[in-house]
Structure 1
Amino acid sequence: MTSITNSAKQYNHIICHKKPVDKNANIDERNNLDHKFIFKEEREDNIRWRIINNDGTRENLFLLTGVKELISTALPKMPAEYIARVVYNHNHYSLVIIKDPNKVIGGICYRPFVERNFIEIVFFAVNGDHQDKGYGRRLMNRLKHFMRDVVKIKYMLVYADESAIGFFRKIGFTTNITLEKEIWKGYIKDYSKAKLMQSTFIAKINYAETKEILARQKQAIREKIARTIKPPIIHPGLQRFKNGVKSIDPMSVPGIKESGWTLELEKRAKESVKYRADYLLMLKIMEDLENHRSAWPFRLPVDPITVPDYYDIIKDPMDFSTVRKRMENNRYLTLKEFAIDVQKIWDNCKYYNTKETYYYKSAETLEKFFTDLLLENGIKLP
């Protein structure tokens, strides 16, 4: 772990001696950023960033105690002894936000597995007074930047409980685990009531400045549009309807043909809007199903090692992760196609398991929940 510690010291030196933010920068652009509050804090040097671990120094031990207290407050049901054991472990590191004098207001506790090309996020918390101000996203982006560019790690794994899944999705995590199971299985702690999520670092993204880059790109697009847009041509109103005409050919209306509009484009636009609405509804239904307390048996394909005869009996298996992949690949052209696949999950479970089992009862519970969701949206299975 010496190389990790040295890299952390190098990173701490860089962010403590970084070029100051230009206070004369485009203020309108800065105010458009989602994290404008934290940007102001950084600009005025009210916060500091540090990567720390238990190296025995008084300063780091003091800050780690702040991390422990922060996590204990955020996770009151988590045993304090377990939190302390993880935070003070020599193999674990914490990226923290410090507000003067030395108060830890946010932190990510993680363990790097450099030789396996991934890190495990163990704890992630932001002080209650500083939530919804961009600190969490900024923390994660800084950690991604450090891991990819300094430590040369590509993947990040985290177990997220139901309340945190949505947040992790927003900051680039997915439940579609592409990292081979043999790489991480047995190296990270399993949590039965949480879902494993993965983030893969993209080479060309500057994670440390994502918001600033997006703001500059949006500004550049707005400026280009402003340069190319033509002044509007105002045509006089149509007089034909005053003479009792009920309808006319749209292409005969002055300006319509010049705009590039056609009936075919109108038809495609309507179809696109409908498909988009259907897709968003599928996403919402899947999120509701995945976040249900009885969902965990159906999130991934049945393990053939644990249940050897399953695929001999079930010829058309289905699970949440498979449905999600099919959604991403545009396999469902209609809501009914989507609903039929999801229904297979409950049908397969009830066919394989007996009525008194937890799995059968979970399938019944979720099937009713799913049917109610469909009916709420006007969908009825055959």
Structure 2
Amino acid sequence: MADSRLALACVVARPDGGRRARDSARELLAGGGAEGDPAVRDALENCVPAAEAALARLGWRWIADGDPGFPVRLAATADPPLGVFLRGGLSEVRAVALVGARRATAYGREVAEYLGRELAAAGVAVVSGMARGVDAAAHRGALAGAGRTVAVWGAGPDRVYPPEHARLAEEIAASGCLLTEYPPGAPPLAHHFPERNRLIAGLAEAVIVVEADERSGALITARLALDEGREVLAVPGSVFSRLSAGPNGLLRAGAAPVLSADDVLAAIGLPPRAAAPGGPEPALLALIPAGEAVTVDRLAAASGQPVAQVLEGLLALELTGRVAREADGRYRRSRVTG
């Protein structure tokens, strides 16, 4: 426990982290000199008690590298955190990461939601960063699949980011886990997010890139995964979309394509899921192409129904989780079949 508090003191003494700070702290902890470091000693006396009180108030806990319960996969990486702050349960289960663009298309969100749901239903934990776009869709899919999902933050436990995902964070904590290496009070600084990507890659057995442009942080996660010997897979996308440049580039470089959840299961050595019994697709749903969002007027014209009747049908589909309404009023499928 003393070593755990010393590790926590090292973190709160240098809350912005960074590889150099972690390596320096690891040397101090391994050599027994941490208590003699002025910054660490000051943090141990003046900052750690406040951090522990904040964690207790927020319902989080601290687990240092070497403590029981510290993630085994993370401990085996080239640059593990000194410890992690957790809320919820984190067990050693099969896990994959789904990552991609914040400004994802309807296609990207739909695929992420589908993969998250199907993988979670197969007993595979879904790891992502709780960002807008692909990350949020992956988490929501996993929750819909009644499985486990892990959200890795780039800020302290008291800083939900983005703020509009506060409710999503609560849902994740209830059945999965929230995780960060940054102490209470740490803001979501830009350089924190590339840093947290190594945790996403380290917690997973495979990383799937859904959508990403050529400079996306998702590609950083993919590179870190390759460095750790993890599988990297990619979802093929349109050659006309800049958000497909990342995954299509990975495919060109030899990454395995993801055409269904079974491709991901095969990549980590699991059998395919049993096919669910099928049934006729509702006529209105059949008019919404997979991966596209369409307007009510377009559906009314295609179906020959009055707008009021189309809206009634869309409401029924939305209540059963078959479609989702976009912020601009268009509708897309929320379940991909096949």
TM-score range, shorter chain: under 0.3
Larger radius of gyration: 1
The answer to which structure has the higher helix fraction is: 1
Query: What is the TM-score normalised by the length of structure 2?
Result: 0.25
Query: What is the TM-score normalised by the length of structure 1?
Result: 0.23
Task: Say which structure, 1 or 2, has more relative contact order (CA 8 Å, 6+ apart).
Answer: 2
